[in-house]
Amino acid sequence: MTDRPSILVPIRVLEGESVPEGVPALLANAHVVLLGYHVIPEQTALGQAQMQFEDRANSRLDEYEELFEDAGATVERRLVFTHDGQRTLDRMTTEHDCLAVLVPNAAGAVDDVLVAIRGAVGIDRLARVVAGVFGPTGATVTLYHVADETETDQDIQTLLDGMTQRLTDLGMEAASVETRIEREQNALDAIVDAADASDAVVMGESDPSLATFVFGMPAAQVADRFLGPVLVVQRETVPEREE
């Protein structure tokens, strides 16, 4: 049994966003960092917005926190008024040592999980999220790799075998882990196409284009491509070197 992975769940708490159906059950085995945030115009003082909206925002967060706790998750929460939503997400992820951020689309029963493997970097963090969130559920996990023309079959097999071994080391049953390789398609398009047969997707933040895919597009556009929840595993923060 692995430790509970910390997952950031960002909710634009005063803009009509709420916790979608099925998400608390999805994260029942996680430590949820529930972030209620509200982006305000640059010309509006943060303190002024906080005084005006804090009570209403906290009332909604009370409801959402209870949903996660009733499902079995452990929860800590933050309420932030900000001029820069993306910077707030990045800061909260670092401050709370979150392994992943959830794009909280609605979730049903999760029997099949697609795990996009895009390289060896970050494999340990990816494995900790998959094993921690889905290991206790008995869901089938498909390790999915979109190969480029420079990769050999041996390279790919070594990568996928390493991930499988890490998952079993963390307590998952080897029989619940499958592998699949794609060679003829753009990576993001391939992931979205493959996700159609899955209930949830886990992918690594391996490069800026992926971060842009998740956070740089309106939530409605992400949902148009995949209707289920997406867990984006964050790159490990490299400490700044002291001079």
Confidence (pLDDT) at 150: 85
The Cα-based distances of 192 to 23, 122, 196, 202 in angstroms read 20, 21, 7, 11
The closest alpha carbon to 204, from 106, 112, 95, 120, belongs to 120
Burial 167-191 (b: 16+ CB within 10 A, else e): bbebebeeebbebebbeeeebeebb
Confidence (pLDDT) at 183: 86
Mean pLDDT, contiguous 10-residue spans, the chain (243 residues) = 85 91 96 94 83 92 97 96 90 93 87 86 89 95 90 91 95 95 80 86 64 42 69 70 43
Provide the sign of the torsion angle of the four alpha carbons 82, 8, 146, 222, taken in this order: negative
Domain 112-225: CATH class, spelled out: alpha beta
Confidence (pLDDT) at 217: 42
Confidence (pLDDT) at 190: 80
What φ, ψ does residue 232 adopt, rounded to 5°?
Answer: -105, 110
Diameter of the chain by CA atoms? 60
CATH number, domain 6-98, options 2.40.50.140, 3.30.1310.10, 3.40.50.620, 2.40.50.700: 3.40.50.620
Burial 51-74 (b: 16+ CB within 10 A, else e): eebeeebeebbeebbebbeebebe
Looking at the chain, the domain(s) classified CATH 3.40.50.620 span 6-98, 112-225
